[in-house]
Structure 1
Amino acid sequence: MRSPKDFFAPLAIGAPAPLREVPFRPSRNIHFFPPANEKMRSKVPDMVATCDVLLGNLEDAVPASDKEAARAGLIEVGQSVDFGDTQFWTRVNSLDSPWGLDDLLEIVPAIGDKLDVVMIPKVEGPEDIHYVDRLLAQLEAKADLTEPLLIHAILETARGVANVEEICAASPRMQGLSLGPADLAANRRMKTTRVGGGHPGYLVRTDPTGDDLEAGRTTYQQDLWHYTVARMVDACASNGIYAYYGPFGDIRDTVGCEDQFRNAYLLGCVGAWSLHPVQIDIAKKVFSPPVDDVVHAKRVVEAMGDGTGAVMLDGKMEDDASVKQCLVVLDLATQLAERDPELKEAYGL
């Protein structure tokens, strides 16, 4: 076990010093694009202004025959596109694949100065993060990078969920976690073929009202992912990193997508994946605090003065805990307002 005093020392001679705190940057949507597709690559410059995060996907949904073309396409995008304030991420292939190592060996020297985060799929324990951590340090040193690349892990196996706290604490590079519902469902032997969202068979039913056990009993669909998302949020929050909802696979069901994203937002996630342009605005809407919440938060903070004691506001008691809740909303609103002029005007910031 490494000594705590060495935790923030570079893992390779000449590598940049690890961050002591992961900065929060608006990342309401992580929009995936296929770098192997020349038509999609050509759209990236126009998408920069519409997304908080643009992610070049090298893993799932990329056929084996296109893996090298996707990697080359990602490098081309990184070398040619000005991302400005928009974050540029990539999801590399899994560590047990024939392509994962080459992804890192080729990408970091070529565009490591443009990348913000490397997403690692199917992370099962801290040992996976330790491996990537050391390798990135060596590649950063070799490429003379001055800023460390961050790591984002996907929870896609039961073992990964069981080790989620250790994964979050494995490296100062850890930026956050995403839920990977499809692979996780398969690994857990869950009997669903949906990608995210609820399931009509996963329900609760009101008690019987008489001898007829079918009559008058209302059912309510439940969320298959509530436990996993809540545990992921706690693990991330306790380690100063960020939780994200992953994909919602039913592109047509924009209403269900918005509901699922909002559940994740209320539980503490900071963003979600968008697999199709129609989901970009949904994620940006849901993971931006509503105007009424921002207005209320400002009133509470102003009424509480130094943040101690308690006051009555609109018939509700507000105290120091209320101020902390309101500051979470205001901090997010302030950062989003700096990026989005429409939100700045709506929030009055």
Structure 2
Amino acid sequence: MTIRPRRSVLYMPGSNARALEKARTLPADGVILDLEDAVAPDAKLEARTRVVETVKAGGFGPREVVIRVNGLDTPWGSDDIEAAASARPDAILIPKVQDPEQLVTVGRRLEALGVPAETRVWAMIETPLAIFAVKDIAAAARDPITRLAVFVMGTNDLAKETRAALIPGRAPMYPWLTLSVAAAHAYGIDVLDGVWNQFQDMEGFKAECQQGVELGMDGKTLIHPAQIEPCNTAFSPPEAEVTRARTIIAAFDQPENAGKGVIQLDGRMVERMHADMARRTVSLADAIAARA
């Protein structure tokens, strides 16, 4: 099982040269170099050029590098796609995806531009229509043309479009988050939680990270470097959990247990599905350790 850790993915404004340079040194699992919300209209062309040059220059080490383009229905979207494609990032993040056809359109464009399949597509889930269509959007991952690998929850935009309150615990949008996690994982893609806006409220941030873990999120998008370390901690499997997972795997790997669906281990009944879960836990822990 091969897993790429996506515990912490930090938004970096494409118009800020200093921030882009700093992105190469931060302990985040990934960075999103943003051409959309973080960039004013009169700075978008300059930001596009700067981001492309930054990605082409490399030096990001194990960090996953993602470029968020402007919407396809904006004056910048089409040219953003072409520019981002030329930089060959790990992924291109498409905002306000509301139906699978948008992903097919992007995928065909990337194919026409000769972009290798290693450059994946991430989709923002940030509108009411996206929530209603989230299963179909996730299912698009089965079509190789879409390159779909990750959902990114846009909780600020969801709050704006629905007029739902952004409150601790996120009760108004809890069903949308759980539905998106279920859809993503049903079709084998990762899902990243939305941002925490009050970056100086670290206790509130940690609580929301824990909620994301409990919901089944694979990581969280961030707006400030100070959020990286607590986020990495929250989305890393605890040492005791990893140790237990290795014990379960070893038990099922014993020849006498090869054909068993259930075994007794340390006074508890353990099913083979728990071994599958354990293998994922160990794979994630090993992938995290390899980044150190």
TM-score, normalization: structure 2?
0.90
Partner of 2:16: 37
1:237 equivalent to 2:185? Answer yes
Partner of 1:327: 279
Give the partner amino acid of 1:81. Answer: G
Partner of 1:299: 247
Which of 154, 158, 167 is the aligned partner of 2:137? 167
Counterpart CA distance in 2 for 1:339 and 1:136 is 29
Deviates more, 1:298-307 or 1:263-272: 298-307
Partner of 1:283: 231
How many residue pairs get aligned? The number is 284
Instruction: Render the CA deviation track for 1:149-192: whole Å, top value 9, x for unaligned.
Output: 211111111110111111112242001101111111222232x2
Cα distance, 1:89 vs. partner? 0.6
| Inter-CA distance 178–295: structure 2 relative to 1 (3 Å threshold) | same
Cα distance, 1:256 vs. partner? 1.6
Bigger share in helix: 2
> What SS does the corresponding residue of 2:24 show, helix, strand or coil?
helix
Which of 317, 320, 325 is the aligned partner of 2:269? 317
| Inter-CA distance 38–166: structure 2 relative to 1 (3 Å threshold) | same
Counterpart CA distance in 1 for 2:80 and 2:3 is 26
Partner of 1:225: 173
Q: Identity percentage over the alignment?
A: 29
Partner of 1:8: none
Counterpart CA distance in 1 for 2:111 and 2:31 is 23
Give the partner amino acid of 1:226. Answer: Y
Partner of 2:55: 78
Give the partner amino acid of 1:161. Answer: I
Structure number with greater CO (CA < 8 Å, separation at least 6) is 2
Partner of 2:98: 124
Q: How does 1:83-94 map to 2 (within 5 A)?
A: 83-94=60-71
Deviates more, 1:166-175 or 1:271-280: 166-175
Mark the structure with the bigger radius of gyration. 1
Counterpart CA distance in 1 for 2:193 and 2:80 is 25
Cα distance, 1:24 vs. partner? 3.4
Partner of 2:5: 26
Q: Is the 8 A contact 2:9 2:222 kept in 1?
A: yes
Counterpart CA distance in 2 for 1:128 and 1:139 is 17
Partner of 1:61: 38
1:258 equivalent to 2:206? Answer yes
Cα distance, 1:81 vs. partner? 2.8
Cα distance, 1:281 vs. partner? 0.7
Cα distance, 1:309 vs. partner? 4.3
Q: CA-atom RMSD, angstroms? A: 2.0
| Inter-CA distance 157–334: structure 2 relative to 1 (3 Å threshold) | same
> What SS does the corresponding residue of 1:224 show, helix, strand or coil?
helix
Instruction: Render the CA deviation track for 1:6-38: whole Å, top value 9, x for unaligned.
Output: xxxxxxxxxxxxxxxx96311111111112112
> What SS does the corresponding residue of 2:32 show, helix, strand or coil?
strand
TM-score, normalization: structure 1?
0.76
Give the partner amino acid of 1:116. Answer: D
1:46 equivalent to 2:16? Answer no
Which of 141, 159, 165 is the aligned partner of 1:185? 159
Counterpart CA distance in 2 for 1:24 and 1:225 is 28
Point out where structure 1 has 5 or more consecutive residues left out of the alignment. Answer: 1-21, 200-220, 341-349
Q: Is the 8 A contact 1:54 1:89 kept in 2?
A: yes
Instruction: Render the CA deviation track for 1:268-327: whole Å, top value 9, x for unaligned.
Output: 221111110111112211111011111111122223334624344444322223222222
Give the partner amino acid of 2:107. Answer: D
Point out where structure 2 has 5 or more consecutive residues left out of the alignment. Answer: none
Cα distance, 1:102 vs. partner? 1.2
| Inter-CA distance 130–334: structure 2 relative to 1 (3 Å threshold) | same
1:176 equivalent to 2:150? Answer yes
Give the partner amino acid of 1:224. Answer: P
| Inter-CA distance 42–326: structure 2 relative to 1 (3 Å threshold) | closer
